[in-house]
Structure 1
Amino acid sequence: MSERGRSIDEILADARARLNRLGPAEVARAAATGAVLVDIRPEAQRRAEGEIPDALIVERNVLEWRFDPRSDARLPIADSYDLPVVVVCQEGYTSSLAAAALQDLGLHRATDLAGGFAAWRAAGLPVRPGGGARP
């Protein structure tokens, strides 16, 4: 590490080295067998690009609080460190960092969608109009 810290490229590479990143078809299979797909994109991006049906919407700024089993702000589904979580962003960069952060919390099965929502859509997998308010 240099005196100035690490570059974002180094941080991203370290995060991805820990992940078993999944392609779109693998994510679809994982979701069909119980993995939780978590879309961390902001509402404006989801509105413009669309959403994966049945993906849980949790914007990036609150992700760790919603999935930490010890957090008072956790989602009801986030009650186990064994929860399989697949994080989705637009192109698969921020999702890698977010999935690594979930692993840091102890969610050892957390990973992300390689290529993000763009790869999902390009693979011809289901997409719906997005951006609506979520609870």
Structure 2
Amino acid sequence: MSSVDTFVEDARAGLRRVSPQETDKLRHEGALLIDIRPHANRASEGEIPGALPVERIHLEWRLSPDSEWRLPGVSAESVVVVFCNEGYASSLAARDLQLLGLPRATDLVGGFRAWAAAGLPTEPGGQAALP
């Protein structure tokens, strides 16, 4: 196993990762879905309805419960599901959010592509990421 594989596995050890179907259930229950995919992927493949696009470079500032730049409504009690294309970068991002004070942060197993393959709803993409 490569060092990057070990790095991802270590990050996942502290997560209770969720399937596309469980993510959909959480979405309907009010969880915050965060799309960290690049704009080009969102524009070409679509988006999950209600998910907020946040570029990975801004993620910690927009979601840290004590950041003055956090998204409205984000608190230490928030359920946050982060997703990327296939579920690798999102595992690292979710781990980082837990370290910042969001113990209920996790990621979507298989990322957006697993969501779409499961036949769950998507909408045309291309919305700009939140600054």
Identical aligned pairs, as a percentage?
A: 58
Separation in structure 2 between the aligned mates of residue 44 and residue 54 of structure 1, nearest angstrom: 18
| Paired residue secondary structure (2:69) | coil
Distance 1:109 1:132 in 2: 26
Would you say how many aligned residue pairs link Structure 1 and Structure 2? 129
Pairs within 5 Å for 1:71-86: 71-78=67-74, 80-86=75-81
- Where in structure 1 are there 5+ consecutive unaligned residues? 1-5
CA-based RMSD of the aligned residues comes to 1.2
TM-score (norm 2): 0.94
Equivalent residues in 2 for 1:1-135 (5 A)? 7-78=3-74, 80-135=75-130
Q: In the TM superposition, what is the alpha-carbon distance from 1:11 to its structure 2 partner?
A: 1.0
- State the AA in 2 paired with 1:92: G
- Note the alpha carbon deviations across 1:46-77, whole angstroms, 9 max, x for none: 11111001101111110000011211211112
Aligned with 1:34: secondary structure?
coil
Distance in 1 separating the partners of 2:77 and 2:4: 28
Deviation at 1:15, TM superposition (A): 0.6
Q: Which contiguous aligned blocks of 4+ residues in structure 1 show a shift greater than 2 angstroms?
A: 132-135
* Structure 2 unmatched runs, 5+: none
Q: What TM-score results when the alignment is normalised by the length of structure 1?
A: 0.91
Secondary structure of the corresponding residue to residue 38 of structure 1: strand
C-alpha separation in 2, matches of 1:65 and 1:107? 13
Following TM superposition, by how much is the alpha carbon of 1:134 offset from its aligned partner in structure 2, in angstroms? 4.6
Structure number with bigger Rg = 1
